[in-house]
Structure 1
Amino acid sequence: MEGLEGKLKGLSIARRSRPEEPTYLLDVALQPGGLLAVSCSNFTIRLHNKDTLNQVGEYRGHSGPLCGVTFAHGSSELLYSGSADGTVRAWDVRRPGSAAVQVFKSDASHCYCSFDLSCGDTLLCAGTEQVNDEDSFLVFWDSRKPGAGLLGVYSESHSDDVTQVCFHPRDKNRVASGSTDGLVNVFDLSRGAEEEALLATCNSGSSAGSVCWSGADYTRLLCLSHDEGLHLWDLGRLDTDEPLTIFSASDARSLTPLADGGGVDYLVGGGWLEEAQKLLVVGGKNSGELHLMECDGGGLRLLGSLEGGHASTVRCFLWDAAGEALVTGGEDAQLLLWKPGGEELKTEKRESMKSKSALKLKSRPHKTHGYEREKKAT
């Protein structure tokens, strides 16, 4: 931990990308080959060199808000993006600016607000917005057969927008989904039908915003809610009498006192750092400051703070373990690269470019179901 904490405390701005067009940066993904993909609120996807942040390409094709980007794990020349326009698209990063090489669709009424690709690159899953005021769906495709139609649909487990789909990093059949209905569901797709596949349902008590797998064996789930709640569950306890909840807070903003005695204004997200075996949670101030925290059963602990970078809310981050660097993007249209001892070529601070977001969060009443365990066969 001392090594990681020292690296995080030593971070400073090494590079800053300043696109001409003001647009929110919503999500960022890293390709092992050296590219960053950034989804933007103007429905475009930008490619950047991960070391210089120079823009090297752009994709246009989506006609609705983007819900994420991810690179294929085995064939890193493929980049996937999902959108509320009802498509998941695959792009060839060797041909920047070209049309999508694959397009995945389901029912015409489906608008996607989340998606993910399995660790084996064989399954795509997208979560829909609520349809007809009562239904929402998880839809599945074989990513190798875009023209073959859907593999299947789960329709009974969520009753509102499916805000997050997250495949397990090592088990191609395990996937978690979060929703504005407050529930986080975990499925084992090898079991087939939805009812049999549902392993556990955990209740966030609010609108689930982001979900990520963590822990040494990736048996833990972190959930951050849209109203800044934080919940950590251990699915390794499913077959025991121990509670799944390791830590839970309905409002985590004040859990980590900052130097001024206050707390963060919002939580950006979380990520498991495999090399350090630690769960990193990033929070921010509305002024643009970032605060890096460790999360475990005891809650949050401040590891380091970053200033002088963003001028408004940060929307996304990733940790590049190989480059020992942090990448952040936000509503000021800036993409920043933070490295230990980094020295920015140009030091003037970016003024706020905050504009009307193309991505609006819906507010709905939340269900209050408790979590359910899988019943052991007798």
Structure 2
Amino acid sequence: MKSEIEKHDESLSDSDCSDTVEAEDINSIFPQCQHIHTESLGSKYILDLSATSETNPYIAAALTDFSCDIFKSAESQLAKITQLKEHSDRLVSCKFSQKDNNVLYTASADGTVKLWDLRTSKTAITFADTTLEDSDPIKPLSSFDVSPCDKLLAAGTNLFEGDAFILFWDVRSTKLQGAYWESHTDDITQVKFNPDDSNMLLSGSTDGLINTYNLAESNEDDALQQCLNTEELVEQLEWFWERQQWKISCITSSNNLQLWEVDGAEPYKRFNRDTIAGNIKKNANKVYVAKVHPASNSLIILTGSNGKEGKSFRSLQISNGNVNPALSFNENTQRVRASWYNEHTKLLLTGGEEGNLDIWRPDFLETNYKTIKRK
């Protein structure tokens, strides 16, 4: 479903998204990112992407027909392994296990999370709300994550009978382990485990709130640690590590970017749509923010323009609070809806509305301060 901003953007002409400088200046400001491969998945949107961490990874692409295509990357080519198609509604996420490259999780608005063993392409485990009776309506899932220890699953729901839920499962049991339902008052758009701490969870919602929880506490009231008010609809959240502490990036429904301290009363940095557009040398009318990725002690902003069939796609790099031009993705042919990045293998995947899965090899600049070893 498209947002009001996207509908407004589509009503504008391509001249509204033109570059603000000459083409030769764009080429000097934005070096071209190395493009490795494009795989067409047909007319389906790519809604989410995940991959394993090795140099030639397994890749999962969640599609609008409720299926998930699985590929193996090798020597700049992709080989399709299988298609997973057992969900009955829109996929909201797909994630590989951090402990086993053969294990993939998919979550859907049909109210279930499924664990797949790619060696058999069969569902090993289905997680659902086991407190429901057969005649009860399901709680549609809207977001999902798996803990870094690979033992705990968390899924956010749309507003359901007046409440928005975060549901929890232990991967060793299909029984629902518990739920939170008092911390948000609208659809939960994001749940994110801290990359280093399976007890630290982040959630965001269309109610405008970002919440952090300590899951080691026995109840929701005690677990809720911080409540940050963005004053906008929260679309995407990411944890990132900077200056010896965890911080939070938030993309809002207005294509604004906010950076938060975990205990901050307000964002310590804001980059609105106009600012982002100015930095990628575009008029702001059709600019969108696709994703933020932590990389090399900095943040990479993937951003583009809806004009010219969404082909314009560039990146910015934030370090020490400053934003600078990074790379241009000249071979991109679509509005990007999903991406995945591994800073160790320097591999970036993007997918979007034309059904193209693109593989890139970006060379983001190292920041000018030393890498901090996390505990």
TM-score, normalising length: structure 1: 0.80
Structure 1: unaligned runs, 5 residues or longer: 1-5, 342-378
Structural mapping, 1:346-365, within 5 Å: none
Structure 2: unaligned runs, 5 residues or longer: 1-27, 364-375
Question: 2:316 is matched with which residue?
Answer: 293
Distance (whole Å) between structure 1 residues aligned to residue 235 and residue 168 of structure 2: 21
Classify 1:130/1:42 alpha carbon distance in 2 versus 1 (closer, same or farther; 3 Å): same
Structure 2 residue aligned with 1:111, among 140, 163, 166?
Answer: 140
Q: State the 1:288 CA deviation.
A: 1.9
Q: Does 1:262 align with 2:283?
A: yes
Q: State the 1:260 CA deviation.
A: 4.7
Do 1:67 and 1:84's aligned partners in 2 also have CA atoms closer than 8 Å?
A: yes
Distance (whole Å) between structure 2 residues aligned to residue 340 and residue 315 of structure 1: 18
Question: 1:248 is matched with which residue?
Answer: 270
Q: Does 1:141 align with 2:169?
A: yes
Question: 2:17 is matched with which residue?
Answer: none
Q: State the 1:87 CA deviation.
A: 0.2
Question: 1:283 is matched with which residue?
Answer: 303
Please identify which structure carries the higher strand content: 2
Q: State the 1:291 CA deviation.
A: 1.2
Q: State the 1:296 CA deviation.
A: 4.8
Question: 2:369 is matched with which residue?
Answer: none
Distance (whole Å) between structure 1 residues aligned to residue 221 and residue 171 of structure 2: 24
Deviation sequence 1:51-105 (CA, Å, 0-9, x none)? 413322110000100111111111221100100000000011222xx33111000
The one-letter code of the counterpart of 1:144 is R
Give the secondary structure class of the aligned counterpart of 1:172.
strand
The one-letter code of the counterpart of 1:228 is N
Structure 1 residue aligned with 2:40, among 18, 23, 26?
Answer: 18
Structure 2 residue aligned with 1:225, among 252, 257, 264?
Answer: 252
Distance (whole Å) between structure 2 residues aligned to residue 188 and residue 320 of structure 1: 27
Structural mapping, 1:1-378, within 5 Å: 9-19=31-41, 21-33=42-54, 34-51=57-74, 52-95=77-120, 98-106=121-129, 107=132, 108-132=137-161, 134-146=162-174, 149-216=175-242, 217=244, 219-235=246-262, 238=263, 243=265, 245-249=267-271, 251-257=272-278, 260-263=281-284, 265-273=287-295, 276-286=296-306, 287-296=310-319, 298=321, 300-310=323-333, 312-339=334-361
Classify 1:100/1:261 alpha carbon distance in 2 versus 1 (closer, same or farther; 3 Å): closer
Do 2:338 and 2:352's aligned partners in 1 also have CA atoms closer than 8 Å?
A: yes
The one-letter code of the counterpart of 1:72 is S
Q: State the 1:338 CA deviation.
A: 1.5
The one-letter code of the counterpart of 1:277 is N
Give the secondary structure class of the aligned counterpart of 2:78.
coil
Do 1:53 and 1:337's aligned partners in 2 also have CA atoms closer than 8 Å?
A: no
Do 1:215 and 1:279's aligned partners in 2 also have CA atoms closer than 8 Å?
A: no
Distance (whole Å) between structure 1 residues aligned to residue 123 and residue 280 of structure 2: 47
Count matched residues.
320
Do 1:53 and 1:335's aligned partners in 2 also have CA atoms closer than 8 Å?
A: no
Deviation sequence 1:121-171 (CA, Å, 0-9, x none)? 111000001012x2110010101222xx11111010011111111000001
Classify 1:83/1:340 alpha carbon distance in 2 versus 1 (closer, same or farther; 3 Å): closer
Do 1:253 and 1:266's aligned partners in 2 also have CA atoms closer than 8 Å?
A: no
Do 1:185 and 1:200's aligned partners in 2 also have CA atoms closer than 8 Å?
A: yes
TM-score, normalising length: structure 2: 0.80
The one-letter code of the counterpart of 1:246 is Y
Distance (whole Å) between structure 1 residues aligned to residue 139 and residue 48 of structure 2: 21
Q: State the 1:211 CA deviation.
A: 0.5
Question: 1:345 is matched with which residue?
Answer: none
Give the secondary structure class of the aligned counterpart of 2:237.
strand
Classify 1:302/1:31 alpha carbon distance in 2 versus 1 (closer, same or farther; 3 Å): same
Distance (whole Å) between structure 2 residues aligned to residue 201 and residue 259 of structure 1: 32
